């Protein structure tokens, strides 16, 4: 009506849009529509009038501006009155805090799996794998891909590392959608976002729930007043959308998806993809042979390859080969390089880009949730990474106090053992640490804890029954972790005890088992422990290993180990102890095999004389050592009858 007053200032035509033609049909909401209708008609009318000089043009323009301002105010009024439902329901949003990686290397098997699940009927699907294997990077790339190919689809990114980051992510979604009541302190923002996304009239959406690792945080009911429901309950269960989860924990992913078939385990890269990643990150032609060696050394793990490329790229004189040489120089240097953190724009603020520190977060998570599984991982790290025998992992959950108590016992008790030839000696405290036959051991514990480690992609079960394996880098980083916590000495001691217990005698019948165990035990044999109690356990292992090397024909290796074992036994237990006699006899046989007859005979005679004194001539060990001496003399003197007769005459005298 206000426009009618214009006629008082200049000749004009007034166009009205009617919104209330009677008291019974009067509604303020209609004013905006009436104004827009009048404006549209006026615009069309002006198109029909031939251009001419218009008097009082400036007042007309001012009036039109005022009219447009009124229209905008009307639209705003309608927006607020309708609870802001119109823009939130129709305008797609892209809430992803990471940009696309121009150096991204596509892994077709993973990509095809994601696309298939995204197009399928199930609402939730998940990528599971060890930290640094590329789960989040694939999710980032997929989010951008969906945004490019389906611009009408909203994309939401949720950081599920902690409850606080989950809440912050939901607040960002609420702000982007301009949800009503989002600023109300009394409103549960998690429920607000979930309920809105579950509406059927909301446009299509994809939510990426990243770093959903903490099962307890996700599923535990909160006793506080604000949000008593578990965090996982605030993920939409219905609606026109999909949820892609990334997690280090299979257990967590399974709880969020409710379907193990909707989970893909992300493994290390294939060789071709690892080389492509190095090529892209370095941005130059690379030495393919050196790159292949480096990729193999780093187990084709994306985070480790990224870390290596960042280090090389920032140093003008560094090359792939020089970096590899540095890694192999020493464990200390390797640890320093794997801790190097140059940052990454596609990782969360404050989150390390270092392999060591990234995996230590996983180790700490396991220690918090499943302490027994963390103990198992610690013991497994003492082995070589491949073909770890499960029967040597028993009693990984022993108490430190038990070991200390065992160390305080008499050393003789620990080594009351005669290399398997005698049945009359008590194996002592070392034998209290037993295998699966022990009543105190529950084989189900080992199975359960192996399953936990498998769920975190730290351990894999091999095709050979009874053996498992881990990534060499995982083994190295676990050792670094337990070293920092001060527990490395304890786990090395337990590993040594297990080795001494389970390594067989070295006879022909046990060669296959010895061959399987030797790669794990070689580092133990190469370095004698400093503690006396550990040295006694080591010498027991060394005596059996020397027998194995002797049977293999590696006499020089057998001699060195047997000599060390004999020295330890003699110094700690005395010449008459059964373990001392066993190691002396083993060394004598080694001398004999090398044709050192005089040394062999002298040592074997000492063993027999001591054995006669301690056990008597009728004892099986004494008798067996006499037989060994007879065989030695037969080989040396080429007269078996005379040699045998002289030995028995001397023995019985």
Reply yes or no on whether the pLDDT at 52 is more than 70.
no
Instruction: Answer for the pair 365, 213: CB distance below 8 angstroms, yes or no.
Output: yes
Gap between the Cα atoms of 39 and 483, Å rounded: 77
Residue 427's pLDDT is 38
pLDDT on residue 540: 92
DSSP class of 8: G
**Mean pLDDT, the chain, as a whole number?**
82
List, in sequence order, every residue forming a beta bridge with 125; answer none if it has no partner: 244
Enumerate the β-bridge partners of residue 264. Answer: 127
Q: What is the four-CA torsion angle of 264, 265, 267, 269, rounded to 10 degrees?
A: 10
φ/ψ of 95, rounded to 5, equals -115, 75
CATH superfamily of domain region 504-653: Tetratricopeptide repeat domain (1.25.40.10)
Average pLDDT, integer, range 10-20: 68
- pLDDT tier at 625, thresholds 50, 70, 90: confident
Model confidence pLDDT, tens digit, residues 84-126 = 444 444 589 999 999 999 999 999 999 999 999 999 999 999 9
Give the domain 94-265 fold: Rossmann fold (3.40.50)
Q: What is the pLDDT of residue 76?
A: 61
Determine the Cα–Cα distance for residues 3 and 42; give it in Å rounded to an integer: 13
Q: Which residues contact 278 (CB under 8 A, 6 or more apart)?
A: 286, 291, 294, 295, 305, 308, 309, 320
Phi, psi dihedrals of residue 91, rounded to the nearest 5°? -95, 115
pLDDT class of 475 with cuts at 50, 70, 90: very high
pLDDT digits (tens, 9 = 90+) for 190-238: 999 999 999 988 889 999 999 999 999 999 876 555 556 899 999 999 8
For the chain, first and last CA: distance in Å? Answer: 140
- Alpha carbon 223 to its chain centroid, in Å, reads 31
Half-sphere exposure of 211 (CA within 13 A, CB side): 19
* pLDDT at position 575: 87
User: How confident is residue 4, by pLDDT bands cut at 50, 70 and 90?
Assistant: low
Number of Cβ within 10 Å of residue 359's Cβ equals: 27
Pairing of strands 154-159, 205-210: parallel
Q: In 3D, which of 45, 1, 37, 44 has the Cα closest to residue 17?
A: 37
Please check whether residue 133 is in contact with residue 268, taking contact to mean a CB–CB distance below 8 angstroms: yes
- The backbone torsions φ and ψ at residue 581, rounded to the nearest 5 degrees and listed phi first, read -65, -35
Helical pair 271-282 and 302-313, crossing angle rounded to 10 deg: 30
pLDDT of residue 407 exceeding 50, the answer is no
Rounded CA Rg of the chain: 39
CA-to-CA separations, 270 to 65, 110, 250, 266, 299, in angstroms, rounded: 65, 12, 22, 11, 10
The pLDDT score that the predictor gives to residue 440 is 46
pLDDT tens digit sequence for 583-623? 888 898 888 888 888 888 888 888 888 887 887 776 777 76
C-alpha 359/C-alpha 86 separation (Å) is: 46
Residues of the chain with CATH 1.25.40.10: 504-653
Q: CA neighbours within 13 Å on the CB side: how many for 135?
A: 27
Distance CA(195)–CA(209), nearest Å, equals 17
Give start-end residues of each CATH 3.40.50.300 domain in the chain.
94-265
Bridge partners (DSSP) of residue 124 are 243
Q: Please tell me the distance from the alpha carbon of residue 314 to that of residue 439, in angstroms, as a whole number.
A: 58
Under 8 Å CB-to-CB from 59, ≥6 apart: which residues?
6, 9, 10
Q: What is the distance of C-alpha 512 from the center of its chain?
A: 32
- Which residue is it, tokens 């046989």? 589
**Total residues belonging to the chain:** 653
Nearest by Cα to 345 from 104, 119, 525: 104
Is residue 172 scored above 70 in pLDDT?
yes
- Cα–Cα distance, 450 to 103 (Å, whole number): 36
Backbone angles phi, psi at 101, to 5 degrees: -90, 115
Q: How far apart are CA 131 and CA 482, in angstroms?
A: 18
């Amino acid at each position: 009506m206000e426009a009618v007053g214009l006629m008082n200032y200049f000749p004009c035509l007034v166009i009205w849009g009617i919104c209330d033609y009677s008291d019974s049909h009067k509604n303020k909401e209609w004013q905006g529509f009436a104004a827009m209708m009048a404006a549209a008609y006026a615009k069309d009318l002006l198109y029909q009038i031939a251009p001419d000089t218009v008097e009082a043009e400036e007042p007309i323009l001012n009036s039109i501006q005022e009219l447009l301002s009124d229209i905008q105010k009307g639209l705003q009024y309608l927006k607020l009155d309708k609870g802001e439902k119109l823009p939130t329901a129709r305008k797609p949003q892209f809430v992803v805090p990471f940009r696309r990686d121009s150096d991204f290397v596509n892994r077709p098997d993973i990509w095809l799996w994601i696309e298939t699940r995204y197009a399928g009927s199930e609402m939730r699907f998940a990528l599971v794998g060890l930290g640094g294997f590329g789960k989040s990077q694939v999710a980032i790339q997929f989010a951008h891909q969906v945004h490019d190919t389906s611009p009408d689809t909203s994309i939401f990114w949720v950081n599920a590392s902690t409850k606080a980051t989950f809440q912050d992510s939901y607040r960002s979604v609420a702000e982007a959608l301009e949800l009503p009541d989002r600023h109300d302190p009394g409103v549960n923002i998690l429920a607000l976002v979930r309920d809105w996304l579950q509406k059927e009239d909301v446009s299509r959406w994809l939510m990426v729930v990243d770093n959903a690792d903490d099962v307890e945080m996700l599923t535990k009911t909160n006793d506080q007043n604000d949000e008593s429901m578990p965090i996982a309950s605030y993920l939409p269960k219905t609606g026109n959308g999909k949820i892609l989860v990334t997690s280090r924990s299979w257990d967590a992913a399974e709880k969020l998806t409710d379907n193990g078939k909707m989970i893909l385990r992300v493994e290390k890269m294939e060789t071709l993809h690892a080389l492509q990643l190095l090529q892209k990150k370095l941005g130059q032609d690379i030495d393919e042979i050196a790159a292949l060696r480096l990729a193999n050394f780093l187990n084709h793990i994306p985070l480790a390859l990224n870390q290596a490329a960042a280090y090389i790229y920032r140093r003008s004189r560094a090359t792939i080969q020089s970096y590899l040489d540095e890694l192999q120089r020493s464990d200390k240097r390797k640890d320093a390089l794997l801790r190097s953190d140059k940052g990454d724009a596609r990782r969360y603020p404050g989150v390390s880009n270092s392999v060591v520190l990234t995996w230590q977060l996983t180790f700490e998570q396991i220690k918090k949730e499943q302490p027994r599984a963390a103990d198992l991982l610690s013991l497994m790290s003492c082995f070589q990474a491949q073909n770890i025998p499960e029967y040597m992992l028993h009693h990984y959950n022993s108490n430190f106090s038990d070991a200390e108590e065992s160390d305080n016992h008499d050393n003789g008790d620990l080594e009351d053992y005669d290399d398997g030839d005698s049945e009359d000696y008590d194996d002592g405290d070392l034998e209290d640490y037993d295998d699966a036959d022990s009543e105190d051991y529950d084989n189900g514990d080992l199975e359960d804890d192996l399953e936990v480690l498998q769920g975190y992609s730290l351990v894999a079960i091999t095709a050979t029954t009874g053996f498992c394996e881990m990534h060499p880098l995982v083994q190295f980083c676990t050792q670094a972790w337990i070293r920092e916590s001060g527990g490395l000495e304890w786990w090395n001691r337990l590993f040594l005890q297990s080795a001494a217990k389970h390594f067989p005698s070295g006879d022909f019948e046990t060669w296959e088992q010895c061959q399987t165990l030797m790669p794990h035990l070689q580092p133990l044999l190469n370095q004698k422990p400093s503690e006396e109690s550990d040295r006694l356990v080591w010498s027991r292992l060394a005596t059996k290993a020397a027998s194995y090397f002797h049977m293999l024909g590696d006499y020089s290796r057998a001699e060195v180990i047997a000599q060390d074992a004999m020295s330890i036994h003699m110094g700690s237990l005395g010449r008459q102890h059964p373990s001392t006699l066993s190691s002396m006899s083993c060394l004598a046989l080694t001398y004999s095999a090398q044709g050192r007859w005089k040394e062999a005979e002298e040592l074997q005679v000492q063993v027999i004389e001591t054995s006669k004194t301690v056990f008597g001539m009728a004892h099986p060990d004494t008798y067996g050592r006499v037989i060994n001496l007879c065989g030695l003399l037969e080989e040396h003197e080429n007269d078996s009858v005379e040699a045998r007769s002289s030995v028995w005459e001397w023995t019985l005298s």
